[in-house]
Structure 1
């Protein structure tokens, strides 16, 4: 089975807001169980009306109200079974269910009615019924420094002009 990170390497990924990279006002906090408290996504500072863009190529599988707030779901193909789904709320959708979009395409505008102290976009990620950290869509894994296996080459010696050796002295010369 492929890991999420392995599958994501083939995707073109970007932030759903910005540039610049938006401020994360509330991080992802996974719930201990399906009905336990937690924060099942991240909140990004965003002014009302900001354009929400597709973080990867995908198909819009839902665009409409959920619990009185505009919501958009983008399903990401070729990310395993079941495929990853990323969600955005509160939004006013620009795209419709069934639309195929490319990374960076406009999906929606941030709408009023957030659960944040100031205007924000809630960005979620799921595989089936399992909630995931949406920042994993942007991370490529840890950087690693590899050991140097050879010493650096020594600088070349200064060039000395070539002079052929002197011929041996003739025995008759004195």
Structure 2
């Protein structure tokens, strides 16, 4: 059974666990890092519902093999968007690839940090961004995937987390435009 609003490719890649960052979701647990991962994402970083080309595969230990993020299918030149509000922590090049990192607002201390690569940044370190703000465009493939893809990562401090856990998994709820009762 699939959760409403979550494509089958995401479910196959390991569905978000809701609000819990348990051992299956944390690659390098920190003492006291049992804080939940809030589902703060308001949008996918690329496209509407991109195919998950490669899912989250946490390593057994900090320097072990694994995949510390997810790869989302996209076309070169596609806009890459912030999934939630925050502040750009880094926008530049690392190992020849464009990287943008955003510290997400209201996610605790240390804040959750999303990372997007390879991206030709249109934002700068220190910029405030909102959900859906264009951070840059997808650069040409780097060999990380068979074709163009966005690598989307998530960390809290030194702990890598599954970025899909940021996405809400429940059904959408429509509210009336007019006549919304006040609490």
Aligned counterpart, 1:46: 74
Gaps of 5+ in 1: 143-174
SS at match of 2:164: helix
Aligned counterpart, 2:155: 126
Aligned pair 1:61/2:89, yes or no? yes
Aligned pair 1:84/2:107, yes or no? no
* Alignment equivalent of 1:32, drawn from 60, 71, 75: 60
State the 1:81 CA deviation.
1.3
Contact residue 56 and residue 76 of structure 1 kept, 8 A: yes
SS at match of 1:40: coil
Aligned counterpart, 2:138: 110
TM-score by length of 1: 0.74
CA distance in 2, matches of 1:64, 1:34: 25
CA distance in 2, matches of 1:34, 1:101: 30
The answer to which structure, 1 or 2, has the higher relative contact order (CA under 8 A, 6+ apart) is: 2
Residues 111-130 of structure 1, C-alpha deviations (whole Å, 9 max, x = no match): 01331000000000000010
State the 1:34 CA deviation.
1.0
CA distance in 1, matches of 2:69, 2:79: 19
State the 1:141 CA deviation.
6.8
CA distance in 1, matches of 2:148, 2:138: 8
Gaps of 5+ in 2: 1-31, 172-183
SS at match of 2:165: helix
CA distance in 1, matches of 2:52, 2:47: 12
TM-score by length of 2: 0.71
Please provide the CA RMSD for this pair. Answer: 1.8
Structure of greater Rg: 1
